[in-house]
Amino acid sequence: MRKTAPWRTVLTTAAAVTGAVSALALTAAPAQAEPAKATSLYAPSALVLTIADGESAATTAPQRAVTLDCMPGASGTHPAAKEACTQLRASGGDFEALAKADENTYCTKEWRPVVVTAQGVWDGKRVNFERVYANSCMKRAGGASVFSF
């Protein structure tokens, strides 16, 4: 009787197991991807809003960040989500229109820049907004409730 090396037995067993597994994989039915289904009647409106000290969002770390979801109702971590959604709807999602300063607010001319950002989706359209204010008073005067957090 001829003796077989132990490593040869292990290799033969491994080859047999691999062949059996491969045969089972080929006989299994392929998975079918289901078509995407709409989960809501509303266009998506979900934003991440940030505030940071500095002249550019790319060079500063956010000091505060909140989420704002306005469809079908106001929600998220924004402390005044309902007011912020109302103002965004009134402006048609135009952040530049919200950034106009209130004429009845008086601020110093101090240069301590504050940058705000809004990123996400508003009414089904991609949003990537960034605005630099001269100081926090100017941000309060021009940011409406959207950037009041």
CATH number, domain of 70, equals 3.30.350.10
Domain hosting 116: range is 46-142
CB of 117 closer than 8 Å to CB of 66: no
- Our measurement of the distance from residue 105's CA atom to the centroid of its chain's CA atoms, rounded to an integer in Å, reads 32
Query: In this predicted model, what pLDDT tens digit does every residue of 110-147 receive, in sequence order?
Result: 999 999 999 999 888 899 999 999 998 888 887 677 88
Does the residue 103 lie in any domain? yes
Does the residue 8 lie in any domain? no
Does the residue 98 lie in any domain? yes
- Our measurement of the distance from residue 75's CA atom to the centroid of its chain's CA atoms, rounded to an integer in Å, reads 15
Average pLDDT, the chain: 77
3-class state of residue 79 by DSSP:
coil
Residue 77's nearest CA partner among 125, 149, 127 is 149
Residue-by-residue DSSP string for 11-40: HHHHHHHHHHHHHHHHHSPPPPPPPP----
Report the pLDDT value the prediction gives residue 10, as an integer from 0 to 100: 47
**How does residue 21 score in pLDDT terms, banded at 50, 70 and 90?**
very low
Does the residue 123 lie in any domain? yes
Farthest-apart Cα atoms in the chain, separation: 104
Long-range contacts of 106-113 (CB under 8 A, 24+ apart): 107/134, 107/135, 107/137, 107/138, 107/141, 108/135, 108/137, 109/134, 110/134, 110/135, 111/135, 112/53, 112/136, 113/53, 113/54, 113/55
